Chains A and B, each alone.
Chain A
Amino acid sequence: MLRVENIQKHFISHVLNGKEVVGFRSVSFKVLPGMALGLSGPSGCGKSSILKCIYRTYLTGMGKIIYNSQTFGTVDLAVLPENEILALRRKEIGYVSQFLSVVPRQPAAEVVAAPLVEEGVSRAVALQRARGLLDRLNIGARLHAAYPATFSGGEKQRVNLSRAIIRPPRLLLLDEPTASLDAASMQVVLDLLLEIKARGTTIIAIFHDQAIMDRLMDDIYTMPVKES
């Protein structure tokens, strides 16, 4: 599904007179369709940067990110034209981080329903499914009409996740999306992820929680050590 070949990421800060920071050095791995790959390694080794490179939030300096897409066939995400990346984001590739990344003034249920509406599902049906999903994640009806910007960290994360999985993408990138969840919510998230995986979603994820890593992942990629 996805094959990463020798990608590297360096940040050059012109504001700091050209200071160079290594994001990560020479990373290669692959994920087969429907599988889940976990990224592991110490803080600062570049795990988040890899997901951002795959999603094009970061530019990849060197190497290839070969993705077998439904829309465009086999492509290199490192160099694919921007409008095609945007199309893949709409149709195939989802990304969830621990930070909320949605429009400030939009009710939670609408935020979650949006991907379905965009796909052509009627608003009423989409909202109903969004509410169901939020309920399942213990976001009570009281919060459905509220703005997620005002939510607690854990509530925001659950809204984020709901939005990403309401219409499961082919490839889902997860960057500690459960960092501030309690054990009960965590269990629900794990169940949901196992469900979409069983329905075919390929997952690349970073979780600090070992239990989730063990139960969700088929394979673990350990990041190369970075000499400083």
Chain B
Amino acid sequence: MKPILQVSGLTKRYGPGCPECLRRTGALHETNQCPHCRSIIACREITFDLFPGEVLGIVGESGSGKSTVVRLLHFDDEPTQGEFRIKLNGSAGAACNPDPGRNLFALGAFERRQIRNAHMGIVYQNARMGLRLKVSAGGNIAERLLMAGWRHVGQMRQRAAELLIATEVPVLRIDEPPQHFSGGMQQRVQIAKALSTRPAVLLLDEVTTGLDVSVQARVLDLIRSLQQETGVATIVVSHDLGVIRLLTSRTIVMRHGCIVEQGLSDQILEDPQHPYTQLLVNSML
């Protein structure tokens, strides 16, 4: 099987940078901040593949660089270094279907946005990042459909309703702004929005963090069943190993911007190799 996403050498530095940066940061140095120039190496030399239909987890403590990786892949931010390739079914080179050999980070902003709108969906921890809370739920979804090239108003409304049903948001509330919704419902609207264009890749960044435990369980069940139905290749970022266990088949463990371990999720949980992963697993019990 060929990967749908290939990420290699992905590095993001915040700050001016100096020749010392990479040598003096990372998991071995127990910091992501260069002691010389004070730059933050939010993530470094991140390399992994994502395969069609799979759910890949990224786990790690606060500040380890998980969200940075997701933001870079969603073109929300510019990498300092690295390559990113996407291989979709269908004819390469056609509109919005990038040549699988092309490094997407080398493309212009317009092309990247087109690729993102056509093929990626994202759900943020904070609904404020993913939704316009004062615009109706249906409007939020329609906005995304518009960006992906939909034009027919009736069809967009129809699609929005379908997705709200799939994500168990009462369709009657399609015209209400999500600011009045509960946290769990806001997340479901984000999920509906992300999946509305049938993306090839779904990015989930701490989507259940901060929700009540019972609400968390329902949102996780929903994600699981929608992922299985659609087969969308998914990256799940979480600091919660319970979420990782429930949703993912492979996991990457990050610390201070580095990948310290990767493996099958059950192996990461039952036979962790890296001291940090062992600590993480032990503190779960």
A residues near B, CB below 8 A? 11, 13-15, 52, 56-59, 82-83, 85-87, 103-105
B18 at the A interface (CB under 8 A): no
Flag B202-222 by CB within 8 Å of A: 1 or 0 each: 000000000000000100010
CB contact between B221 and one of A58, A86, A87, A105 (< 8 Å): that residue: A105
Tally of chain B residues near chain A (CB < 8 A): 22
Closest to B52 in A: A83
CB contact between A58 and one of B1, B54, B267 (< 8 Å): that residue: B267
Residues from chain A with Cβ under 8 Å of B181 in the complex:
none
Residues from chain B with Cβ under 8 Å of A13 in the complex:
278
CA distance A15 to B280 in the complex (A): 10
Contact A83 B1 (CB under 8 A): yes
B173 at the A interface (CB under 8 A): no
CB contact between A82 and one of B217, B263, B278, B279 (< 8 Å): that residue: B263
Closest to A53 in B: B271
Closest to B50 in A: A83
Contact B263 A83 (CB under 8 A): no
Contact A57 B279 (CB under 8 A): no
B residues near A, CB below 8 A? 1, 49, 51, 54, 217, 221, 224, 246, 249-250, 263-264, 266-267, 270-271, 273-275, 278-279, 282
CB contact between B264 and one of A11, A82, A105 (< 8 Å): that residue: A82
Given contacts A15-B282, A103-B224, contact A58 B271 (CB under 8 A): yes
What are 25 contact pairs spanning A and B, CB under 8 A? A11-B271, A14-B274, A15-B275, A15-B278, A15-B282, A52-B270, A56-B267, A57-B264, A57-B266, A57-B267, A57-B271, A58-B267, A58-B271, A59-B267, A59-B271, A82-B250, A82-B263, A83-B1, A83-B51, A83-B54, A83-B250, A85-B264, A87-B1, A103-B221, A105-B217
Contact A58 B270 (CB under 8 A): yes
Closest to B263 in A: A82
Residues from chain A with Cβ under 8 Å of B250 in the complex:
82-83, 86
Residues from chain B with Cβ under 8 Å of A85 in the complex:
264
CA distance A82 to B57 in the complex (A): 14
CA distance A103 to B51 in the complex (A): 22
Residues from chain A with Cβ under 8 Å of B266 in the complex:
57
Residues from chain A with Cβ under 8 Å of B264 in the complex:
56-57, 82, 85-86
Contact A14 B271 (CB under 8 A): no
The 10 closest A-B pairs by CB, nearest first: A14-B275, A58-B271, A57-B266, A83-B51, A15-B278, A14-B278, A57-B270, A15-B282, A105-B221, A82-B264
